[in-house]
């Protein structure tokens, strides 16, 4: 899969597309797969890299959502639990079963959560990941050796899924490509075209690398732009009322020693009434998340000081070794594209279910939902879009469609397990040239072969694509990633035939982005709402 082949498909495509999808996150790429497997011809356009938006910034859970159970939203939980099961079946190289322990420090907690979590597993039916169980204090410590022991009474264990979001996304892009779809990253939609009756019938977009403008037409245009949904809706109809309430969530990443063992911690009620997770991921501990309403979504959201402090304080209540700012290896923020229900107030209470809207302009908008339910969202959306565009009827086939890389035992590939059936090919690259087998930095497992693979086979175009999403280096350890950057960009330039000027520009822009992942300094009087990496105030 590469850009040249995508352009060959685009330029060779004479007539109107059946569908054009705007947005290359989980939602848009899911729609592209669904449409392509039904036999519709589909073009997907992403303004930045695939997954640059929210879809690489999640908590990495494939879950039914224990929290929605508490809100009494059983149908949402059941649907998500079914999708969780299907995703494990279809992408076992990227999704795994993980034990989550709800620790109890009060006598009533274990029986209370024990009942709810029994129901959670019952609702999964044949897609269950394992029965929940009340744990004694000793058993809790076996699962979570580094939990705070003071006052600990026991816990409840339940099972849910975990995944690598950006890796799944790139394998979904590959799946869509293999099914005949055309997908372009760095292709920003700048406007919509309309037919004589005023209905949207196409898009204008610009190639972000060459600046070349394009105009493409389709029987139906689908808006899957996540947090940016309202901007495209307004392009279609300037009077469109906003439907998205954006809410930011952040995660802090620490060394694995903060969370030893193979289980995660789930805190059902933080002091602000949210759920917090501490999960083992790629040899590190990821802790999050927050829920902070934001006025305008940003492409590169930045963690706020108050969010960092909140996570540190909450984590300190549950971890024996209290994490400090100095322990944070990476911090990442993401924007939830929640659908407004009347007045937006507390975003934690807004609907996590998805919404499909046929706009007055004839454009189809899909938003909300969650990563776990991307397949189901796509099915619903293509059903609607195909009817609207009067496409020949064709049933959805994705519930049992293997995702690219499908491999039932990919753990045996060690640090290459996330490549699934591609792992032996990446290993061949390492073996073909010993220099490619070297780690790019001692702190992380990534090798030069992974950089080369990302460029050749996974449409990585920038240093950030390689270090943030094809590998997850930036999300795991920002300082180590900055050390890896010069070697990685050299390898990319060799593959892409780029000069030293390009390399210097890539390094400059990557270093700037990486600042957002560092918790660099702390001023005791920092105001709530100040980005964590804002320049230090000048000394008087
Ligand atoms: C902090 C956090 C934690 C989460 N954790 C989980 C979890 O553990 N499990 C779970 O199931 N869900 C989770 N979610 C929800 C899940 O991540 C999102 O629902 C999902 O990623 C949304 O995908 P999307 O494709 O709709 O949006 P996005 O991934 O944001 O994709 C939209 C894309 O549209 C592109 N775009 C915008 N405008 C244009 C344009 N004009 N032209 C071309 N492209 C454009 C953007 O660049 C972007 O890439 C979490 C969300 C957050 C914020």
Contact of 161 with 96, CB cutoff 8 Å: yes
Q: How many CB atoms lie within 10 A of CB 158?
A: 23
Distance 487 CA to ligand 1 centre (A): 30
Distance 355 CA to ligand 1 centre (A): 14
- In this structure, which residue's CA is closest to atom 6 in ligand 1? 58
pLDDT at 460: 98
pLDDT at 75: 86
Distance 26 CA to ligand 1 centre (A): 6
Q: Which of 225, 245, 355, 365 to mutate to test the pocket of ligand 1 (most atoms within 8 A of CB)?
A: 225
Distance 227 CA to ligand 1 centre (A): 7
pLDDT at 352: 57
Distance 226 CA to ligand 1 centre (A): 5
- In this structure, which residue's CA is closest to atom 18 in ligand 1? 370
Give the residue among 334, 284, 287 at the shortest CA–CA distance from 313.
Answer: 287
Pocket of ligand 1 (CB under 6 A): 22-28, 45-48, 52-55, 57-61, 63, 188-189, 224-228, 232, 249, 289, 334-337, 369-372
C-alpha count within 13 angstroms, C-beta hemisphere, residue 454: 32
pLDDT at 343: 43
Contact of 185 with 461, CB cutoff 8 Å: yes
Contact of 235 with 194, CB cutoff 8 Å: no
β-bridge pairing 95-104 and 264-267: parallel
C-alpha count within 13 angstroms, C-beta hemisphere, residue 19: 40
d(CA 151, CA 382): 52
Give the position, in ligand 1's atom list, of the atom nearest the Cα of 373: 11
Give the position, in ligand 1's atom list, of the atom nearest the Cα of 50: 49
- In this structure, which residue's CA is closest to atom 1 in ligand 1? 249
- In sign, the C-alpha dihedral spanning 52, 53, 57, 60 is negative
Burial class (CB in 10 A: 0-12, 13-18, 19+), 12: exposed
Per-residue pLDDT 10s for the chain (540 aa) are 999 999 999 999 988 999 999 999 999 999 999 999 999 999 999 999 999 999 999 999 999 888 778 777 888 899 999 999 999 999 999 999 999 999 999 888 888 888 888 888 889 889 999 999 999 999 999 999 999 999 999 999 999 999 999 999 999 999 999 999 999 999 999 999 999 999 999 999 999 999 999 999 999 999 999 999 999 999 999 999 999 989 999 999 999 999 999 999 999 888 878 889 999 999 999 999 888 999 888 999 999 999 999 999 999 999 999 999 999 999 999 999 888 865 444 455 455 588 899 999 999 999 999 999 999 999 999 999 999 999 999 999 999 999 999 999 999 999 999 999 999 999 999 999 999 999 999 999 999 999 999 999 999 999 999 999 999 999 999 999 999 999 999 999 999 999 999 999 999 999 999 999 999 754 444 444 455 555 443 333
Distance 247 CA to ligand 1 centre (A): 12
Distance 246 CA to ligand 1 centre (A): 11
pLDDT at 112: 80
Give the position, in ligand 1's atom list, of the atom nearest the Cα of 53: 30
Kindly report whether the peptide bond that precedes residue 459 is cis, defined as omega within 30 degrees of 0. Answer: no
Q: Which of 54, 95, 172 to mutate to test the pocket of ligand 1 (most atoms within 8 A of CB)?
A: 54
For residue range 389-413, what is the model confidence (pLDDT) as tens digits? 999 999 999 999 999 999 999 999 9
Our CA dihedral for 426, 429, 430, 431, rounded to 10 degrees, sits at: 120
For residue range 414-425, what is the model confidence (pLDDT) as tens digits? 999 999 999 999
Distance 168 CA to ligand 1 centre (A): 13
pLDDT at 521: 54
What is the separation of C-alpha 64 from the centre of its chain, rounded to a whole number of angstroms?
16
């Amino acid at each position: 899969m590469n850009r040249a082949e995508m352009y060959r498909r685009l330029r060779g495509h004479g007539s109107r597309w059946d569908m054009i999808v705007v947005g290359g996150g989980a939602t848009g790429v899911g729609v592209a797969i669904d449409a392509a497997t039904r036999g519709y011809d589909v073009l997907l356009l992403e303004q930045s890299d695939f997954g640059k938006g929210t879809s690489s910034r999640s908590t990495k859970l494939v879950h039914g959502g224990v929290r929605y159970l508490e809100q009494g939203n059983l149908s949402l939980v059941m649907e998500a639990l079914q999708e969780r099961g299907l995703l494990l079946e279809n992408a076992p190289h990227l999704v795994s079963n993980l034990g989550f322990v709800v620790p109890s420090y009060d006598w009533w907690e274990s029986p209370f959560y024990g009942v709810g979590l029994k129901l959670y597993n019952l609702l999964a039916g044949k897609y269950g990941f394992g029965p929940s169980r009340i744990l004694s204090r000793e058993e809790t410590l076996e699962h979570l050796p580094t939990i705070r022991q003071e006052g600990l009474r026991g816990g409840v264990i339940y099972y849910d899924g975990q995944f690598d979001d950006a890796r799944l996304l790139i394998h979904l892009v590959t799946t869509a490509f293999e099914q005949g779809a055309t997908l372009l990253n760095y292709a920003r939609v700048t406007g919509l075209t309309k037919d004589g009756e005023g209905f949207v019938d196409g898009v204008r977009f610009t190639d972000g690398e060459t600046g070349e403008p394009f105009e493409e037409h389709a029987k139906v245009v689908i808006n899957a732009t996540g947090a940016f949904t309202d901007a495209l809706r307004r392009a279609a109809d300037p009077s469109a009322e906003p439907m998205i309430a954006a809410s930011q969530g952040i995660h802090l990443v620490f060394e694995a020693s903060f969370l030893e063992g193979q289980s995660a911690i789930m805190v059902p009620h933080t002091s602000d009434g949210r759920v917090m997770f501490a999960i083992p991921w790629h040899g590190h501990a990821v802790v999050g998340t927050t829920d902070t309403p934001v006025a305008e979504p940003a492409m590169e959201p930045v963690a706020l000081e108050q969010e960092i402090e909140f996570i540190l304080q909450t984590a300190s209540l549950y971890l024996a070794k209290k994490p400090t700012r100095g322990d944070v290896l990476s911090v990442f923020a993401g924007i939830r594209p929640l659908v407004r229900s009347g007045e937006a107030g507390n975003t934690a209470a807004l609907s996590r279910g998805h919404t499909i809207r046929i706009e007055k302009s004839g454009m189809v908008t899909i938003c909300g939902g969650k990563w776990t339910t991307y397949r189901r969202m796509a099915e619903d959306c293509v059903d609607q879009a195909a009817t609207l565009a009067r496409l020949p009827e064709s049933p959805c086939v994705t519930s049992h469609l293997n995702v690219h890389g499908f491999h039932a035992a990919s753990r045996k590939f060690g640090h290459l397990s996330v490549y699934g059936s591609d792992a032996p090919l990446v290993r061949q690259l390492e073996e073909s040239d010993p220099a490619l087998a070297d780690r790019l930095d001692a702190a992380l497992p990534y090798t030069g072969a992974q950089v080369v693979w990302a460029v050749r086979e996974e449409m990585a175009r920038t240093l950030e694509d390689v270090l943030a999403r094809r590998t997850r280096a930036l999300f795991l350890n920002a300082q180590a990633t900055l050390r890896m950057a010069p070697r990685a960009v050299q390898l990319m330039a060799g593959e892409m035939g780029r000069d030293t000027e390009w390399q210097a520009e890539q390094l400059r822009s990557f270093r700037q982005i990486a600042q957002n992942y560092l918790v660099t300094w702390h001023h005791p009087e920092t105001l709530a709402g100040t980005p964590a990496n804002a320049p230090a105030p000048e000394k008087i």
